[in-house]
Homo-oligomer: A and B are copies of this chain.
Amino acid sequence: MTDHAAVEVPRRVRKGPDERREQILKCARALFRERPYGSVSNTEIAAAAGVSRGLLNHYFGTKRDLYLAAVAQMLAVPPIPVPAFVEGAMVPDRIDQSIEAWLELLQRNRTTWITALDMSASGVDAELVEILEEGRESAVDHMAEVVGLAPATREHPEIRAAFRGYSGMAEATTREWLKYGRLDRDQVHLMLKEVLLHLLDRVVPQFVQSGAGSG
């Protein structure tokens, strides 16, 4: 048996705010990943974190805020593709490499990405939509960079919008691949590459032409 007058482990361990915050977020993520918003109670999260329920409100205010924080953290990792920007390479090659790198990243973060694709929220919340939109926005930025149209997107919002449409296809396609297994990686690659090249070749020029003098 242990020394009865020894270490005296305190029943409450006091941690710094940031550390505690992260610990709670970690447990919240794990639970929200598994079950929809409404079915996860604050009590449950607190128990998982070994913490009292009131502490969640202390750190995050409301349950929804905790949820949003957790979601934002989940989305923080996957949707940022690697640069793969090779100076002087031809656009098709850059696209090819970039798609390849992106798919590789997704495959490695498979489960994370899948949950990111269909997240468990119950109900449609404007703030949540906002967070998701921000994730796509950065994806679009990267894409514009890769294809060398970053300057053009600043001048032509339509091009940005077109890329957002494209990334909608990218999401749907990777879902077919990773979640449902109805496409394989090569097929996804082919489709994304073909469509992007075609967009650059046929669609973007027309957008630039028709809306040239706008603003």
Give CA–CA (A51, B127) in the complex, Å: 32
Cross-interface CB contact of A122 among B132, B165, B168, B207, cutoff 8 Å: B132
* Residues on B with beta carbons closer than 8 Å to the beta carbon of A64: 38, 122
Q: Could you mark each residue 160-195 of chain A with 1 if its beta carbon is under 8 Å from any beta carbon of chain B, else 0?
A: 111011111111110110001011000100110011
Question: Are A202 and B207 in touch, CB under 8 angstroms?
Answer: no
Of A2-10, A82-90, A112-120, A144-152, the segment with at least 4 beta carbons within 8 Å of chain B is: A112-120
Give CA–CA (A187, B165) in the complex, Å: 11
User: Taking the nearest CB of chain B, how far is it from the CB of A129, in angstroms?
Assistant: 5
Known contacts A124-B118, A206-B190; decide if A38 and B38 are in contact (CB<8 Å).
yes
Determine how many copies of this chain the complex contains: 2
* A37 close to B (CB within 8 Å): yes
* A125 close to B (CB within 8 Å): yes
* A123 close to B (CB within 8 Å): yes
* Residues on B with beta carbons closer than 8 Å to the beta carbon of A175: 164, 168
* A198 close to B (CB within 8 Å): yes
* A72 close to B (CB within 8 Å): no
Give CA–CA (A157, B61) in the complex, Å: 47
Give CA–CA (A157, B176) in the complex, Å: 11
Question: Are B125 and A124 in touch, CB under 8 angstroms?
Answer: no
Closest to A171 in B: B168
Cross-interface CB contact of A125 among B122, B128, B187, cutoff 8 Å: B122
User: Taking the nearest CB of chain B, how far is it from the CB of A41, in angstroms?
Assistant: 12
Give CA–CA (A187, B183) in the complex, Å: 29
Give CA–CA (A134, B198) in the complex, Å: 29
Question: Are A191 and B187 in touch, CB under 8 angstroms?
Answer: no
* A36 close to B (CB within 8 Å): yes
Chain A residues at the B interface, C-beta cutoff of 8 Å: 36-39, 64, 67, 115, 117-126, 128-129, 132-133, 157-158, 160-162, 164-173, 175-176, 180, 182-183, 187, 190-191, 194-195, 198-199, 202-203, 206-207, 210
